[in-house]
Structure 1
Amino acid sequence: MRRPVRVLREDVARRIAAGEVIDRPAAMVRELMDNAVDSGAGRITVEIKNGGIDMVRVSDDGSGMSEDDLKNCAQPHATSKITDAEDLMHLTTLGFRGEALASIAAVSSLSISSGGFRMAMDGIRGRRIEKAAEVNGGRGTVVTSEHLFEDFPARRTFLKRPASETMMCREMFVEKSLARSDISFRLVVDGDVRLDLKAGETAPERLRNALGMRESASAIKELRAAGKESDGIHDWKFTLVIGEPSVRRNDRRAIFVYVNGRRVQEYSLMQAIEYGCQGFFPNGTHPVAALFAEVEPSLVDFNIHPAKKEVRFRDMTSLHHGISSSLRSFLMSGLKSQMEGTDFKSEAEGASVFGDSSVAEPEERTFQKPAFPDAFPHQNETAAPERNLSENALPKSAMPGRGGADMRTRFFSFDTAKRSLGEPSLFGENEAGGERNVRYIGRAMETFIIAERGNALYFIDQHAVHERILFDEMMGAERIAQTLLIPYIVETENEEQERYVASVLPKLAEAGFIGKATVEGVFEFSTVPSSWKGDEKTLRDALLDGFEEPERILYKVFASASCRKAVMQGTRLDDATAAEFARKAFELPDPHCPHGRPVYFRLTKEQMFANVRRTETAPDQTV
């Protein structure tokens, strides 16, 4: 049976549209907090009852509303944020669509008090305005929504139990409060204050307090960087608040991405953070981080999702590289200072990294164009002097003989009489009280190599240290190119990808990937490094899906190859080979395997004495 096409009644159309914006209490918290922030408030309070189903109230001390504002605010597409379509290209506010209050009024009972007036609106009595007592001392606005979906029993059945809805409201509250540490936020749940965030907190303090993190405040760092867009005209900048590698989670839920103050679901920028952390965080773990990026408003489009959760960039290549490169450099700097046992000071701010007792001041970095740093920047530095284990430091069973030489030949692709790693040691001359000699002690559990250095015992993971040695060799080896019988074809899908691939062709050539543009949007690669283990799809995915830097493409390949080639847990090493592993463990510029696991852990003399309740005495005394 054919049905005629009809125009829906206004009330039906409004309810359909409202369902796109308001689907649960957390959506009301989102929209009302956006309005409060846009009003210039310095203090915002969110109250919810019964998971927000019975009530959501947001009060602020912002600019407030006039009587005329109250008359118009709940009309569809009524807003003070924009006036014409051109304004959509220059958005500076969180709200702009003019749908929030109208949508809330369509699915609940809405009341707004401000400027000595009160506007109430519901599905039965319609809208009415009356004089009322001033709120917040005559400054600001109080917006209250009650009885969500009371007239929509079917919609209400899809809500979760109050405890779950409360949790989602809290998550939304945290999401909004992270971006504005200059504003005071308070969350009240069923009459109890659950979160009270003070204005003036630093970004690391706000992240730690909002998430209720138990880790030390000194473990949360702040990094800032700035640069140019690919057009060379417009600027971008960002602040990244991130926990040290010891602060990690098993999922990505603690990674927050904000663009121009608005949290967005932007996988590429989250990916840039993860790329920057590769090699510093163990496999399968993720950082706790909040990225606050600021770009020219005309270069981003937020008007593609009713809840404004998504963003479309004209070109994010430069920003993507800036995030991953600066974060990798930042973490490497902190790692160096941790290895040296000194407080690292950033060049720009004198910020302590990985080892101070307070939240670090942000490190400033500037990018004029996408940067492609070497994965290990010390490979071209002058090699440190040879540090051989003395014969007296080894038991007789470990003295080099035929068996030992055979084992070393099997596990090391270098002459053990010569230094194979060109990188200088990062330890200072007086590291560990001047004790630099390594004394090999033995092996344990066919997994650990035990060595003494200074006033500590080191337990070295034989697989991790061998993996790192092989990896550094591969990364430092001369790149020999091989010509492909059938060239790889990489076809870009848009102008952003095409500009990116074109911009990295010189760096790709240095890494051994020689390619050229053939026709518009198509690149042909005729040569790859001889050590390359991937295929055409591997290269295409690395370039187009992840905007991978050339060195990072090889990093992944060599990390996988070195892991497969390294000795495994359970492999029985002879003493000479184990001693050689121990020596080289302390010369590594980065004492982590390529996948982020530490090569060794340390047990100090003080810790061992404390475990047996011994106090250190003079040599001629007995305890």
Structure 2
Amino acid sequence: MAKIQLLDPRLANQIAAGEVVERPASVVKELVENSLDSGANRIDLEVEDGGVKLIRVRDNGSGIDKEDLPLALSRHATSKIRALPDLEAVASLGFRGEALASISSVSRLSLNSAVAEAESGWSARSEGRDMSAVLEPIAHPQGTTVEVRDLFFNTPARRKFLRTEKTEFSHLEEVVKRQALGRFDVGFSLCHNGRAIHSLKPATNQLEQERRLASVCGPAFMENALFIDRTAANLRLWGWVALPSFSRSQADLQHFFVNSRYIRDRLVAHAVRQAYQDVLYHGRHPAFVLYLEVDPANVDVNVHPTKHEVRFRDGRTVHDFIFRTLHQALADVRPSDQTNTANLQGSVNPLAPDSGLAMPVEQSSMALRPSESSPSLSTNPFSSSASYGSAYQPAGASASSIAEQMPAYQNLVQPVSDNTESQEIPPLGFALAQLKGIYILAENASGMVLVDMHAAHERITYERMKRAREGEGLRSQPLLVPQSLAVSEREASCAEANAAALAGLGMVIQRVAEESIIVRELPVILADSPVEQLVRDVLADLLEYGSSDRIANHINEILSTMACHGSVRANRRLTVPEMNALLRDMEATERSGQCNHGRPTWVQVSLAELDKWFLRGR
């Protein structure tokens, strides 16, 4: 075995560069974060050949003194921390002193800077080897300009792993977008090969912030986004979350910031996924731009060289806060929040002319008979404890309450000379017809609404059953034969420490040995579930995230199945009062925009879209 020896400084710098400099995008991240930490409110970037040939970052920050320029290019030199307490409460974006040194070791780097009221600026140059920086005076406004040329010119083995110019620039642009989303108060510009790509002015209010969001994330995101802002337990979560109908095939539109730092964290990802799980179609991903503000002393950012991962001092509190905030925000969405903009429910319009779907309406299903009497609602009242029949019977509905809707409905379908605009039209409007026994066609103030009656009623039934269960609480029952499980010592300790919390979920578990537990009770509704797998999954969640939603998920799956079987079926003919009652229930039900499986329950088609289909006004 070879003897231990000190590494050559040049080799040590290049090894450090391997941690920080993966590709041009990595260089841009480090340089832009330095600019932000310097107090800059304007950052301009110019790149060539995807950043391989040139990266120039110019800012108007505080600048660097002449005496500090050589230190800025030295390893383990920084202005951002002084002692260990500073490391435990990092408030800046970065503090890696070797970042500039590592970048200069694999490129030709020049650092130009000037401080306020200085007679001139100064330039320090370094070219990929362990040498003292060469200083010379230059004309330079207050701030700093860093030029990085010929990345990996002296390490061809690493340069060959770079991708095409288009791919490298795509990664670089994504870094700039994230920094622009993280700091609305800073203006950004990006040029590639002399062509302007982005020019973003500082955003000082919510309207300007949303304009920047639309520019970076696309206007469709903003059209489908909800703004949230909540503070609790010394935590603040604010930002924008997209409606479940604006889901993505990939997790490519998910931006989460902790104290303005972009992160990818498993705990955060789990909390967001849990909040969306009841409304998102299987295999789809939510879209969001969220900001968490927390005391810097309660989050450790020095977990990973790239600082993309963090560790929270109280992970369970953070997880629950994020989950509950998003869960409630999504639950509070009602059709009235979505009908102001046409066709918010999905990127594909099922009624588009090129979809190949015709719109025949059978005469027998038109049901345009206001005088038709509705069936007696007292014979089969719809409630969470009722046996669900094939007919739709809304909870709390009465013949008189439905009849009150009919005058406005008649004004919609029968032109009259009176001023019908004074009538208050509900968000989902009034039913006009039933299509093929599956869809309800309604008219509202914006145009046409099409409702999948089974999907909508399924969500209504599901939410009522969940509320009924929450009101009664979880009832548990002893297992006929208590089940013994062999687990790890860590899992057994977790079960013992969380015994009270597990009991609150209807699960009674007792530790009987260092690596053995006994399951004595389970929730009644999960009596037929696989006990061992359920317990192991719950313990795994408790160890990973400090909480578990496995039991609630299993119960909700059962309730969802029951709701599906208890909802109105396809080809069931509904009367106009029944259809209107369903629309009113949708307007009052949480998460009514999606069924239990995440499919949309209704779509809005604006009058402008209808006119466009038929070339009206041309």
Same structural fold, with TM-score higher than 0.5 when normalized by the shorter chain: yes
Q: Deviations over 1:285-318 (max 9, x none)?
A: 3332112112222222222211112112222212
Instruction: Tell me by how many angstroms 1:226 deviates.
Output: 1.6
Letter in 2 for 1:127: S
Partner of 2:537: 541
Percent identical residues:
27
Instruction: Tell me by how many angstroms 1:242 deviates.
Output: 2.2
Q: Deviations over 1:303-347 (max 9, x none)?
A: 2211112112222212222222122222333326338x799xxxx
Say whether the 8 Å CA contact 1:314–1:496 is kept in structure 2. Answer: no
Q: Secondary structure at the match of 1:249?
A: coil
Distance 1:194 1:207 in 2: 16
Say whether the 8 Å CA contact 2:23–2:162 is kept in structure 1. Answer: yes
Partner of 1:118: 123
Letter in 2 for 1:178: L
Partner of 2:598: 596
Partner of 1:42: 41
Partner of 1:364: none
Distance 1:517 1:192 in 2: 67
Partner of 1:384: none
Gaps of 5+ in 1: 229-234, 344-353, 356-389, 616-623
From 208, 212, 216, the equivalent of 1:210 is: 216
From 150, 169, 184, the equivalent of 1:166 is: 169
Instruction: Tell me by how many angstroms 1:528 deviates.
Output: 0.6
Which stretch has the larger CA shift, 56-65 or 216-225? 216-225
Q: Deviations over 1:460-497 (max 9, x none)?
A: 43541453354245324455543334369798959997
Instruction: Tell me by how many angstroms 1:57 deviates.
Output: 1.1
Letter in 2 for 1:596: G
Q: 1:21 to 1:124 in 2, by over 3 A?
A: closer
Say whether the 8 Å CA contact 1:219–1:247 is kept in structure 2. Answer: yes
Structure 1 length as normaliser, TM-score?
A: 0.74
Instruction: Tell me by how many angstroms 1:179 deviates.
Output: 0.7
Gaps of 5+ in 2: 115-120, 346-366, 413-422
Say whether the 8 Å CA contact 1:488–1:526 is kept in structure 2. Answer: no
Q: Deviations over 1:3-31 (max 9, x none)?
A: 33333222212211211111211110010
Partner of 2:151: 148
Partner of 1:199: 202
Q: Secondary structure at the match of 1:290?
A: strand
CA RMSD of aligned residues (A): 4.5
Q: 1:450 to 1:62 in 2, by over 3 A?
A: closer
Letter in 1 for 2:455: A
Partner of 1:575: 573
Q: 1:48 to 1:423 in 2, by over 3 A?
A: farther
Distance 1:565 1:416 in 2: 10
Say whether the 8 Å CA contact 1:41–1:62 is kept in structure 2. Answer: yes
Say whether the 8 Å CA contact 1:70–1:119 is kept in structure 2. Answer: yes
- Superposition pairs of residues 333-344 of structure 1, within 5 angstroms: 333-335=332-334, 337-338=336-337
Partner of 2:229: 224
Residue 413 (1) aligns with residue 416 (2): no
Q: Deviations over 1:135-176 (max 9, x none)?
A: 2x2x10111111111111111100111111111110111111
Q: 1:577 to 1:219 in 2, by over 3 A?
A: closer
Residue 299 (1) aligns with residue 298 (2): yes
Q: Secondary structure at the match of 1:15?
A: helix
Q: Secondary structure at the match of 1:530?
A: helix
Say whether the 8 Å CA contact 2:483–2:518 is kept in structure 1. Answer: no
Partner of 2:101: 102
Distance 2:583 2:159 in 1: 61
Q: Secondary structure at the match of 2:138?
A: coil
Say whether the 8 Å CA contact 2:394–2:582 is kept in structure 1. Answer: no
Instruction: Tell me by how many angstroms 1:217 deviates.
Output: 4.6
Say whether the 8 Å CA contact 1:317–1:496 is kept in structure 2. Answer: no
Distance 1:606 1:123 in 2: 61
Letter in 2 for 1:561: T
Partner of 1:288: 287
Q: 1:298 to 1:613 in 2, by over 3 A?
A: closer
Q: Deviations over 1:52-102 (max 9, x none)?
A: 111111111111001111011111111111122232101011111212101
Partner of 1:526: 521
Q: 1:56 to 1:573 in 2, by over 3 A?
A: same
Instruction: Tell me by how many angstroms 1:196 deviates.
Output: 0.9
Q: Deviations over 1:500-534 (max 9, x none)?
A: 9578557x45xxx2447759998966231325664
Instruction: Tell me by how many angstroms 1:557 deviates.
Output: 1.7
Instruction: Tell me by how many angstroms 1:218 deviates.
Output: 5.1
Distance 1:291 1:496 in 2: 35
Q: Deviations over 1:339-384 (max 9, x none)?
A: 8x799xxxxxxxxxx99xxxxxxxxxxxxxxxxxxxxxxxxxxxxx
Q: Secondary structure at the match of 1:107?
A: coil
Letter in 2 for 1:421: A
Distance 2:154 2:613 in 1: 67
From 468, 471, 482, the equivalent of 2:477 is: 482
Which stretch has the larger CA shift, 582-591 or 327-336? 582-591
Q: 1:596 to 1:586 in 2, by over 3 A?
A: farther
Greater RCO (CA < 8 Å, at least 6 residues apart): 2
Partner of 2:359: none
Which stretch has the larger CA shift, 571-580 or 123-132? 571-580
Distance 1:40 1:79 in 2: 16
Distance 1:245 1:208 in 2: 18
Distance 2:451 2:124 in 1: 70
